[in-house]
Structure 1
Amino acid sequence: MKKLLLLIFTFTTLLGFSQQKGKLEFFNTDWGRTVSWDTFCERTKASGYDGIEIWFPPNEESQKQLKAALEKHKLKVGFLNGTNKSLPFKESLKQYTDHFKTLLSWNPAYINCHTGNDFFSMEQNKAFIDVANKIAEESGTSIYHETHRGRFSYNLPDTEKYMTAIPDLKLTLDISHWMVVHESLLENQDENLKEVISRSHHIHARVGHAEGPQVNDPEAPEWERALNRHLDIWEKVILQKWAENYKPFTITSEFGPPDYMPTLPYTRVPVADQWKANVFIMQAIKKRMNVQ
């Protein structure tokens, strides 16, 4: 009888959970951008995005053009901030901390951080996370830390240690990095991924595989298994955040340009269309989550 009641409770809980639906906002990466901000933003808007995710432009003229393009095409902006791995720890921490002030002045939708260094100690990496979390609390701006090769979060076991040590650690989940680091689609790690999914507040949507962080073309049938594995994980993140009334949930489609995208030898011609891949993954997520 107890088992039957437990099954009924589980079923009804999952049914109610699955019915929770919120809003998704999609951001387009400017990685590999070769056109003006106006042209880029115009095409981004026409492709169905809500905003763009970018590194802050290095000069005032570019900043001015960016602001005008965002306003003209009614797009939001999410910024990237990163630990400069070429600098010593203290200098890098100061630069990382100071840069938040510039980014916050633009009132971004969120800030996604490439935090720390896989060669720093846990104490050093934690200093970057702590300062970002303090600024997030003071400013009211969402600041996340991306699961990324070369950073504190370059693999699943180490990230688990940081989640244990830092209860308010919020992640941007780019699971494609871990697929290649662990040489698998992490199909036997669902239990260990539960806390990661719970801590994920933003997604970088790119399909990786056991031998690389980016498949050559996510529409190709040979990558169907990898695509579905990523979609399954992303769906769990989104449903959990919707159930927590975390709306809207933000996603950046982030297939990269050559040489991140595979190319033909000698000519270096890309084997697929980066823009098309990113729009495809946005539409695939919308279809999976049954949203417009």
Structure 2
Amino acid sequence: MTQHVFIFAPHWGSAHLSRDAFIHQVKEAGFDGIEMSLPMVAVERDAWCRAIEDAGLLLIAQQWETALHADFDDHKQALAAYLFNACAAQPLFVNTHTGKDFYSFAQNSELLDLTESISLETGVPIVHEIHRSRFSGHPMLLLPYLQQRPSLAFNADLSHWCCACESLLEDQQQTLAQVFPHVQHIHARVGNSQGPQVNDFRAPEHANALQQHLAWWDAIIELRRHAGVQQITITPEFGPAPYTQTLPYTNQVVSDAWELNVAMLRLLRERYA
């Protein structure tokens, strides 16, 4: 069976560019599609969707904005609005930042019920991003939900767990083995025990972190292959400051996030060709 790996460009970090300039940059770099949070104004959302389609690119919709809503009722209302807006674009799927690490199990479960119902109503798959401060912010936070909901689907951004667990998860192998079969998308950012993003994954001092992340991505892709999945999606997601470290006093970034994402695109193309 032939397995196709599609690599997406993150819009995060490029919001200063016009729509046309960003899409041109994505095409020029050789990405297969775009992962982005879509405008809530329908006319603007539809304009983005048309432009992406006209460029021959695929779309993964994203919602992260509920991170700004701490009150549970506000969070739930916002989650529904953002997910329905994202699903209206008919993307490949929606990647959502769901819940909070300080919500109760019952509250986060209510949000998971909501995402499932929206996915069923719209016919658009929804995956939950592994991310600090969300319901999935730490392996031991996530496992109880997974045990109760074996159909949960995840976007693996394991750099967050490196940071949360202050390790390269060497002692979390059993947990990862439980989670990996549920991963349907990958955010290819390299973190380490002290942060969710190394300053340059190509630097020799980050070789161990890079090799560990590559091993995780290899394992996830192999599981997807064995499951008969023909399309694998990955988004390199090195972000702007403060994810990209800056020098003191001047706030000058020490690396260029877009250049890192393009470099990761090339690494992934060669590795999974």
**TM category, shorter:** over 0.9
CA–CA distance in structure 2, aligned partners of residues 269 and 88 of structure 1: 35
The two structures have a TM-score, normalised by structure 1, of 0.88
Between the two proteins, the alignment pairs up a number of residues equal to 271
Question: Which amino acid in 2 is paired with 1:237?
Answer: I
The secondary structure found in structure 2 opposite 1:250 is strand
CA–CA distance in structure 2, aligned partners of residues 53 and 137 of structure 1: 22
CA–CA distance in structure 2, aligned partners of residues 66 and 196 of structure 1: 33
Question: Which amino acid in 2 is paired with 1:284?
Answer: L
Q: What is aligned with 1:41?
A: 23
Unaligned runs of 5+ in 1: 1-19
Residues 1:160 and 1:32: Cα distance change in structure 2 (over 3 Å): same
Question: Which amino acid in 1 is paired with 2:53?
Answer: E
Of 65-74 and 278-287, deviating more is 65-74
Residues 1:275 and 1:86: Cα distance change in structure 2 (over 3 Å): same
Q: Percent identity of the aligned residues?
A: 35
Aligned partners of 2:131 and 2:160 also within 8 Å: yes
Aligned partners of 2:32 and 2:58 also within 8 Å: yes
CA–CA distance in structure 1, aligned partners of residues 141 and 253 of structure 2: 34
Among candidates 284, 287, 290, match of residue 267 of structure 2: 284
CA–CA distance in structure 2, aligned partners of residues 105 and 234 of structure 1: 30
Residues 1:22 and 1:173: Cα distance change in structure 2 (over 3 Å): same
Q: What is aligned with 1:130?
A: 113
Residues 1:141 and 1:86: Cα distance change in structure 2 (over 3 Å): closer
Residues 1:65 and 1:264: Cα distance change in structure 2 (over 3 Å): farther
How far 1:134 moved relative to its partner?
A: 2.2
Of 24-33 and 95-104, deviating more is 95-104
CA–CA distance in structure 2, aligned partners of residues 74 and 47 of structure 1: 14
Aligned partners of 1:84 and 1:96 also within 8 Å: no
CA–CA distance in structure 2, aligned partners of residues 167 and 179 of structure 1: 24
CA–CA distance in structure 2, aligned partners of residues 265 and 140 of structure 1: 48
Of 50-59 and 84-93, deviating more is 84-93
The secondary structure found in structure 2 opposite 1:56 is coil
What CA RMSD, in Å, does the superposition of the two structures yield over aligned residues? 1.7
2:39 matched to 1:53?
Answer: no
The two structures have a TM-score, normalised by structure 2, of 0.93
The secondary structure found in structure 1 opposite 2:69 is coil
Q: What is aligned with 1:4?
A: none
Question: Which amino acid in 1 is paired with 2:247?
Answer: L
Question: Which amino acid in 2 is paired with 1:221?
Answer: P
Unaligned runs of 5+ in 2: none
Question: Which amino acid in 2 is paired with 1:117?
Answer: K
